Structure 1
């Protein structure tokens, strides 16, 4: 449930900052003096908007003939608006993107292949941390360039775990994890986890640990028996009281039940750790992902990225904008880890976190990489965004007791099949 929760908490309207929504037809516009205007859209919170607008000021100073019009939304509102713009042939020239959407919009001819701009020298794909640029590749095309990377982690309430006398450790198994949750509940009265079974990306890691994956290039990489086992197990743990009651989770929104004190741990992306420190009054930290075999976590680096519209009238200017945003050291210092650990090596080296929260995030990702457990991200087929939303919604209904496990599994597979065929 973390994506909906985080973004609902982080979202803000453009009006808060006085940022007007962009208008216009087709790609960017041009002026008689050679000045062109490109449109840039993203999702996120007020703080992200403030940081991005500072970086745009730097870009326009370096490239005075390129002006940038901005627009930002909450996550859900962003994609609703983008879908309307794309259907009308008027998507923004450059926009924030994620792997879930690459094949969907590539299939519809929306995304610009940036490879020709790389070959022309307008965009540099060197000087990135190992493996991150591959996230934006689809069938030999470079459809996105990463601005930051992250990986799934377990965030824990350190005070509750210490009070219960349990400690997470690298290589621990799912059995170890579930025993810890029960011990926490028994000794503190607080459920050990806020709802692991409803998180699609965590289930993907579990599947990868067992030789499967959530997605293949054209569909699902698991069967109904696999999902039945996962959801039944999760539902049983809710009923046993070691996982937070989903009704409580819903009541805690927009706060997380972890920061509200109604759960002792929560799986989420490592760079989201900042939210718990701002919401809660305990001490929070990052812990390793439980494993099946005592070693392989199934983890990979995911990435927020910048993509461009295939309809842009200014592909060179868009490429130069992306290049600046992913390589300029001052941009890295301004953005910090707002969108994940900085992907470009120049920006990564330029930003030195001063606070303990971001230092811990950096250490966690570095330690995970050094452990040699990171793999390649699972491909996301067209329709993956709809499937992810279905997993979240149906898993939530299951936890609330609105639907039986067997019916939930059937509903999920039916909706997934329809999404892939759309």
Structure 2
């Protein structure tokens, strides 16, 4: 049966959406009132759409410029835009979903698709794709599928991102470490970090410099490690794809490197909320697990010696995959579903919009647009584009479906449980057992 592209309102309960998004009611209300945003456009006698996203000033200015071109191409349609930083944006979106509906077009995180689609806050886009209001023929089918939930398309990827390590190439040369390749193993990666620690370098505040950040707090690092071994984070929307033994082994690796001084100290990992406050940003480590989109910020901060390299492998098998850096979805309460879908299509497929937006949301999912824009890239942006092409040629497994609705809570629990290990409050196995129990309760609730 075709998925309807209608303006029929199907709103989830306020408390259900806030709970799914991991946002407290009071916090969300405060964020709704105080979140920093840039507003433009206004009501007109024609159609007015609302469009919101998160991101820096460059993304904001480019997006508004592309939106103005869309308005010019669609007389009678006005788009009111707003953006904010990631944290306040997520809180505000959760409040909007619970209180009456998200904007007509909203930028979404991969982890939000199951939450908002399952809660009725997003409009199915199948009909818009079938009638080519939204075109997907120049996007990889496996990648488009990352915006599905229970077999229906609810969002389209706005950028194709991939993970890697920002690393100081000058320090790697000093330690005699070869340029990282996609087939470098986790064991070789660990040994490289030990060799860097053995150099005895000192940070600006006089402390020893570690080889890397501590990935034990990061569910993304664990997923990369797990996938390189043929595993997966989730077996289904209600079942984990890993065991207590898997997580124990991963956390024992991370815990051991930290104790050796090869990974950053616990207190420095806890303080890391931005590139500037991360161990590498503070001169306390020489590499940092990150995504390609924010990588240029590392070179801006730390200089041209910072390069982008692949995550380690298990016997040559890579755990990285091409993940949507973010997605565009249409609010289920929109009164203008056709025009909202046209805006999504324009941002993804119009070559002029592609020229304006560039790589502000990572590699454009439309291959023709990406190839066109890539010709203008320089410096670190060109490096990450070439990196993504290298990894594609090397061979990566298909991306998994969007994480289940409980993943946001599980991600928070993951960080908390490893911090217990890092501060000697639990062993890796004790924390792994508790994480498994918490995750199972979350997935089955």
Q: TM-score, normalised by structure 1?
A: 0.88
Contact (CA 8 Å) 2:142, 2:398: kept in 1 or not?
Answer: no
2-structure distance, mates of 1:21, 1:409: 47
Alignment of 1:249-288 (within 5 A): 249-251=269-271, 253-254=273-274, 255=276, 256-281=278-303, 283-288=305-310
Output the CA distance in 1 between the equivalents of 2:33 and 2:361. 18
Q: 2:134 aligns with which of 112, 123, 130?
A: 123
CA deviations 1:42-81 (Å, max 9, x no partner) are: 1122221111111111111111211111222222222211
Please show how residues 406-417 of structure 1 align to structure 2 within 5 Å: 406-417=429-440
Matching residue within 319, 343, 349 for 1:321? 343
Q: Is residue 20–residue 71 contact of structure 1 (8 Å, CA) maintained in 2?
A: yes
Say yes or no: does 1:247 pair with 2:247. Answer: no
Query: What's the CA shift for 1:38?
Result: 1.2
Equivalent residue of 1:409, what SS? helix
CA distance in 2, matches of 1:290, 1:336: 29
Q: Which moved more, 1:105-114 or 1:368-377?
A: 368-377
Per-residue CA deviation, residues 123-154 of structure 1 (Å, 9 max, x unaligned), is: 11112256321211233311111111011112
TM-fit CA distance, 1:331:
1.7
2:414 is matched with which residue? 391
Q: Give the match's secondary structure for 1:382.
A: coil
Deviates more, 1:280-289 or 1:233-242: 280-289
Larger CA deviation: 308-317 vs 227-236: 227-236
Whether the 8 Å CA contact 2:413–2:438 is kept in 1: the answer is: yes
Match of 2:117 in 1: 106
Separation in 2 of the partners of 1:366 and 1:281?
24
Which runs of structure 2 are paired with 1:21-420 in the superposition (5 Å)? 33=45, 35-129=46-140, 131-167=142-178, 168-189=180-201, 190-218=209-237, 219-251=239-271, 253-254=273-274, 255=276, 256-281=278-303, 283-293=305-315, 295-303=316-324, 304-351=326-373, 352-420=375-443
Gaps of 5+ in 2: 1-31, 202-208
Instruction: Compute the displacement of 1:15 (Å).
Output: 9.0
| Structure 2 CA distance for aligned equivalents of residues 135 and 252 of structure 1 | 29
**When the two structures are aligned, how many residues end up with a matched partner?**
402
Q: Cα–Cα, structure 1 residues 371 and 239, in superposed 2: closer, same or farther, change >3 Å?
A: same
The more displaced of 371-380 and 201-210 is 371-380
RMSD: 2.5
The gaps in structure 1 that reach 5 residues or longer are: 1-12, 23-28
Report if the CA contact (8 A) 2:166-2:295 is conserved.
yes
Query: Take 2:397 and 2:440, find their aligned partners in 1: how far apart are those partners?
Result: 29
Task: Give the TM-score, by structure 2 length.
Answer: 0.84
- Partners of 1:41 and 1:71 within 8 A in 2: yes
> What is the CA deviation profile of residues 197-241 of structure 1, one whole-angstrom value per residue up to 9, with x for unaligned ones?
222122112212222211222231112222122112211211110
* Cα distance between partner residues in 2 of 1:77 and 1:318: 24
Q: CA deviation at 1:265?
A: 1.2
> Secondary structure of 2:95's partner?
helix
C-alpha contact (below 8 Å) 1:298/1:375 kept by paired residues? no
